[in-house]
């Protein structure tokens, strides 16, 4: 399954129409498959304890900060040259392309090539870091739930679907300001006013100048 880069024309979009396009791309399916396997293994294993309820709560609270860290340190990585070696990871390259063409649907998703190693690493963490295999599978299951939520939210923001609720409108505005106002602020995607406020990257938009490199990160496009 391969992703195709398409530029949809601007037209009213329903959630059903958005959903049909969403599932035409490989990354959501890869995350969903991991979720199904992890959840099935978790249910089969049993061994439910109070910590299985605590892990999702902690992960949910930490996720905006995880998003912020990945966005700032990995996606906005500035290419570096060390001798003959150029350090410019796939995720950073694809994210620069995403800033150039924020409406290119194929560039919205986590690159499937990256998921080929991200998902096995997540599995290794689940099996090796946690004191109980069952607890690790709880972590992996909820991580893939968060991953699907991230993919859907990020995708939807970049489509022509118009916000219908106050909460989603805030999230939509927050991320679009990052893409169309100034790339140095508003790094969270699935929430607004969370990690950005704590970490000082959620200024009053009226006080921020429009960035000349918002569509050309580091002048590297």
Render pLDDT for 110-164 as a digit per residue (tens, 0 to 9): 999 999 999 999 999 999 999 999 999 999 999 999 999 999 999 999 999 999 9
Q: Look up residue 59 and give its two tokens.
A: 């992960």
pLDDT of residue 13: 87
Domain ranges of the chain: 15-219
Mean pLDDT across 167-186? 96
CA atoms within 13 A on the CB side of 82: 3
Asked if the model's pLDDT at residue 192 lies above 70, the reply is yes
Q: Look up residue 200 and give its two tokens.
A: 């000082």
Q: pTM for the complete prediction?
A: 0.91
Q: Does residue 187 sit in helix, strand or coil?
A: coil
pLDDT of residue 8: 47
Residue pair 120/38 in contact by the 8 Å Cβ criterion: no
**Mean pLDDT for the chain overall:** 93
Mean pLDDT across 66-71? 98
Q: Look up residue 99 and give its two tokens.
A: 């800033």
């Amino acid at each position: 399954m391969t992703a195709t880069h398409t530029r949809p024309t601007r037209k009213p979009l329903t959630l059903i129409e958005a959903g049909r396009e969403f599932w035409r791309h490989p990354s959501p399916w890869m995350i969903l498959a991991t979720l199904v396997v992890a959840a099935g293994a978790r249910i089969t294993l049993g061994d439910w304890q109070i910590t299985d309820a605590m892990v999702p709560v902690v992960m949910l609270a930490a996720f905006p900060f995880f998003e912020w860290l990945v966005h700032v340190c990995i996606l906005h990585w500035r290419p570096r040259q060390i001798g003959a070696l150029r350090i410019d990871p796939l995720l950073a390259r694809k994210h620069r392309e995403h800033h150039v063409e924020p409406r290119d649907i194929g560039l919205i998703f986590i690159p499937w090539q990256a998921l080929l190693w991200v998902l096995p690493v997540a599995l290794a963490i689940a099996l090796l870091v946690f004191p109980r295999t069952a607890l690790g599978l709880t972590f992996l299951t909820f991580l893939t739930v968060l991953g699907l939520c991230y993919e859907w939210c990020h995708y939807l923001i970049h489509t022509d679907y118009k916000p219908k609720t106050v909460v989603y409108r805030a999230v939509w505005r927050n991320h679009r300001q990052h893409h169309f106002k100034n790339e140095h602020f508003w790094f969270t995607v699935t929430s607004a006013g969370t990690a950005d406020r704590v970490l000082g990257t959620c200024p009053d938009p009226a006080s921020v100048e429009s960035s000349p490199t918002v569509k050309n990160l580091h002048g590297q496009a």
